[in-house]
Structure 1
Amino acid sequence: MKKYSIQSLVQETIQDDLKNGLFELEKEYILELNINSQTVMIKKGAMIAYDGNVKFEREGIFSKGIGNLLKKAVGGEGTSMMKATGSGRIYVADCAKKIRVLYLDNESIHVSGNDILAHEESLKSDVKLMKSVAGIVGGGLFQVGISGTGHVAITTHGDPLTLLVKPGRPIYTDPNATVAWSGNLTPEFKTDISFKTFIGRGSGESFQMKFEGDGWVIVQPYEEVYGAE
């Protein structure tokens, strides 16, 4: 019965003190942020624990893009951010979604508003409203452009799939399953009313995101509907 003891549980799940980078994956679903007189941006509600002298300040990510009025109208999207400053370790997670840490080297990406977990303050973030009713119906109401040099953490339900976009070979994705795409791509919305729309789950496949050019797009094996009851 030794393997079921309290001590075995502690040893199996204990934090790794050897990790001291700014962005470290403590577990598959938990991100550790080691800050030392630094500032990081964290998704509101994602902090699950911390130690040290850390101060949290709520900041609407929309304040950098669309404005307070729209932020109040759609605040349930989950794209508001917190500013964390000071020195210590912060542990963040989001609904047991898998976390991927990316380091941008003077690069840019676009992330669905609900799938960004944290990023360095040094990175520029720009929130944009999808210019289509499909963005509203499909759930992917906002996209966040992240650019510059630094770390960013994104989340996915399950293991993501990256699709390469080639010239002359566009990729079509479900807005609810689309997580991120390369900074040089600008998706268009395509309406495809078909028999599929009227049967099955009715998940909105009639609205699709179309990616053309040369780049990549990440999708997840889950249709994330924001604001669902």
Structure 2
Amino acid sequence: MEKFADVKPQIEQDELLLYTYYRSSCSWRVRIALELKGLKYEIAPVHLLKSDQLKQEFIKVSPLGQVPALVINKKIALVQSIAIMECLEERYPEPALLPKDLHKRATVREICEIIASGIQPLQNLGTMDKISDDEDKKLVWAQYWIHRGLTALETILKSTSGSCCFGDDVTFADCCLVPQISNAQRFKVDVTPFPTLMRIDKYLSTIPAFQRAHASKQPDTPPEMVSVL
């Protein structure tokens, strides 16, 4: 992991402004990618529990009212975390977060999509508010979908992983995994059936870029949440 220790972009860097919420796993995965690339960026906090995402000034940036959103050079606004990460990979190709081999890249993207499409949207704030007003029912719903998704990931990563999700190199898949494991723990999902995922998560937590991007280290992290994240 030395290649991520003190990375500096090899080309002139764009001005980057990231609209984010400290605990949003979609925002979190983009922060990890930015940190791994060694990119400087400003943060514009969007407090989801206070409905900042529904304010008109933010809707102009992100029409669906979702974080993250990345504004580049005060001109281009990108939304959806995977699209943002893909853009960063093309604009700043070193260090690479996708394998060079076509089929290996597809497998990494498959892992990302299981998380970004098959788990996270089903346990996010907006979805659960539509499911029920009962907090216990919301919890059961979230636990079901997270457990189902992590079960699939455990099966896949048993054959693809080394120290990371795909071999020993950090990829997009790792950027997506760490926030989702945090979600699982937040929703009190039993993670003992997922030793492969937990082993990888533990290893990734030792990498400085992952530490800097962590939800407990953000400017908008409430002081009372630092010790529980």
TM range (shorter): under 0.3
> Which structure's residues are more often helix, by fraction?
2
TM-score (norm 2): 0.26
Structure number with greater Rg is 1
TM-score (norm 1): 0.26
> Which structure's residues are more often strand, by fraction?
1
Q: Which structure is richer in relative contact order (CA contacts within 8 A, separation 6 or more)?
A: 2
